[in-house]
């Protein structure tokens, strides 16, 4: 029994200590977490690191290449040379055979080679450099997209929380109104029908509030996914879905001009164009000669025994130049050059098509920003009018000058006006985030 009591005393603190601390997130911290934990940004960074090593590999071709080698041979049958007949070494009438070499052969070699001129090598370095630039642009684009996705997910959490709070407030108003109606009914001011209407209003709002709570929880889970957090981690979002005035709307020309300069996707295609231009030059470089310098130092000996101290070692040292000029390879180079030209033209066409598509997309987002701003301005007035109408309806009901139906209608109008205003602010914030994303401002 004592052991059981001790076990029960120890386990709760252990369980409590294993619980993860809730993560409190504002928008900036959510973005920081995403850039640290999101798998896509990690993959993009690894691609940059790999491209750096590929450039390092390409640059290694400019340095001398030094090799050391050692070889031991044991001749089971020695090589021979044939001596023609009637010579001082073979006075007979038949060809003579003379064994050469010894049973054991040792050879140590140090060789060096260095490219003196190789256009292919220079173009390979250019390709590796362009590949690194492309990887950096892809990383920037991934980062830009992740920030944009986190911003939109964060805004969705704010909207769903505001909607939840709004519906909870509407439910509370309905419950307060229900209690007030029951009080007035007991006083004989309102009928039983008014009580029934007020009760129905309360019951109709309860499932809506539950749905809003579920939507809020789902939006939190979606934000975790966008950030790269584990499902079991708990988060708390801080911030308000507010609209700050004034907001300067950029013109269409300003958006297009900035788009052509800063859009990450266009920057990626521009780097792809440069890469394929380098690849075309690389294929054309196969027509050009290459020149290399080389040197070789050998240390060798042969013997029929293993008396190493008596061996006679011979040193050989040679240096020289090697030039290689391609003459004919069955039209292989010409075919590869044609393929590179086609690939380059394909990328140019892709860039042209994407440019027009992104222009249209950017203008569409700009129009959504403009429309949302107009909606916010109109809904600000509507909410004030709806609040005033709801307060008037409640006073009229208390004075017996209105029915419960009028109060319900006024409350519904107020709720819808607030929802419309929240939705307009959300649409504006999302469009603003998408505009920043397409302009590469994240």
Q: Is 184's pLDDT higher than 90?
A: no
Domain 22-63+118-288+331-438 has CATH 1.20.1600.10: yes
Could you give the strand order of the β-sheet that contains 104-117, starting from the edge strand earlier in sequence? 65-74, 104-117, 290-303, 314-324
Alpha-carbon gap, residue 231 to 344, rounded angstroms? 45
Q: What are the CA-CA distances from residue 388 to residues 179, 242, 378 (Å)? A: 21, 22, 16
Alpha-carbon gap, residue 109 to 299, rounded angstroms? 6
More confident residue, 128 or 246: 128
Tokens of residue 361, six digits: 């997309």
Mean pLDDT, the chain, rounded, equals: 89
**pLDDT-based confidence at 198, cuts 50/70/90?**
confident
Tokens of residue 162, six digits: 């505001």
Alpha-carbon gap, residue 203 to 200, rounded angstroms? 5
Tokens of residue 117, six digits: 């001129």
**pLDDT-based confidence at 17, cuts 50/70/90?**
very low
Q: What is the pLDDT of residues 100-123, one digit of tens each?
A: 888 899 999 999 999 999 999 999
Give first-to-last CA distance, the chain, whole Å: 62
Q: What is the pLDDT of residues 258-285, one digit of tens each?
A: 999 999 999 999 999 999 999 999 999 9
Alpha-carbon gap, residue 213 to 192, rounded angstroms? 32
> Which residue carries 């973005």 as its tokens?
31
Please confirm whether the linkage preceding 246 is cis (ω < 30° from 0): yes
* Maximal C-alpha separation, the chain: 151
- Among 3-17, 63-77, 139-153, which stretch is predicted with the lowest mean pLDDT? 3-17
Alpha-carbon gap, residue 128 to 275, rounded angstroms? 9
Q: What is the pLDDT of residues 364-400, one digit of tens each?
A: 999 999 999 999 989 989 989 988 998 998 888 788 7
Mean pLDDT, residues 308-336 taken together:
92
DSSP-assigned letter for residue 63: S
């Amino acid at each position: 029994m004592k052991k059981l009591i001790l076990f029960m005393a120890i386990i709760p603190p252990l369980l409590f200590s294993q619980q993860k601390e809730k993560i409190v997130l504002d928008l900036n911290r959510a973005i920081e977490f995403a850039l640290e934990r999101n798998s896509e940004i990690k993959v993009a960074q690894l691609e940059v690191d790999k491209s750096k090593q590929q450039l390092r590999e390409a640059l290694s071709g400019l340095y001398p290449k030094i090799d050391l080698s050692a070889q031991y041979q044991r001749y089971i049958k020695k090589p021979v040379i044939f001596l023609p007949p009637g010579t001082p070494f073979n006075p007979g009438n038949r060809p003579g055979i003379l064994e050469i070499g010894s049973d054991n052969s040792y050879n140590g070699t140090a060789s060096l080679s260095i490219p003196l001129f190789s256009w292919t090598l220079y173009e390979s370095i250019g390709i590796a450099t362009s590949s690194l630039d492309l990887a950096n642009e892809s990383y920037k684009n991934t980062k830009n997209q992740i920030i944009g996705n986190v911003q939109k997910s964060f805004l969705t959490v704010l909207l769903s929380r505001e909607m939840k709070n709004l519906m909870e407030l509407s439910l509370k108003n309905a419950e307060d109104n229900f209690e007030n109606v029951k009080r007035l009914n007991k006083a004989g001011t309102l009928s039983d029908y008014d009580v029934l209407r007020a009760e129905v209003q309360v019951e109709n709002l309860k499932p809506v509030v539950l749905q809003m709570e579920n939507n809020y929880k789902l939006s939190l889970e979606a934000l975790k996914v966008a950030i790269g957090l584990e499902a079991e981690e708990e988060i708390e979002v801080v911030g308000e879905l507010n609209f700050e005035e004034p907001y300067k709307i950029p013109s269409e020309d300003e958006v297009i001009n900035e788009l052509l300069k800063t859009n990450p996707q266009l920057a990626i295609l521009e780097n792809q164009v440069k890469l394929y231009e380098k690849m075309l030059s690389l294929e054309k470089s196969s027509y050009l000669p290459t020149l290399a310098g080389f040197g070789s130092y050998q240390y060798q000996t042969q013997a029929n025994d293993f008396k190493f101290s008596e061996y006679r070692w011979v040193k050989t040292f040679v240096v020289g130049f090697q030039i290689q000029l391609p003459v004919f390879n069955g039209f292989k180079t010409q075919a590869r050059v044609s393929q590179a030209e086609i690939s380059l033209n394909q990328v140019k066409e892709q860039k042209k098509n994407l440019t027009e598509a992104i222009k249209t997309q950017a203008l569409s987002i700009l129009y959504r920003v403009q429309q949302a701003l107009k909606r916010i301005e109109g809904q600000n007035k509507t909410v004030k009018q709806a609040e005033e109408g709801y307060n008037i309806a409640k006073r009229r009901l208390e004075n017996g000058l209105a029915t419960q139906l009028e109060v319900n209608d006024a409350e519904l109008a107020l709720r819808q006006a607030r929802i419309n205003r929240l939705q307009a602010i959300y649409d504006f914030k999302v469009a603003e985030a998408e505009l920043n994303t397409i302009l590469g401002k994240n």
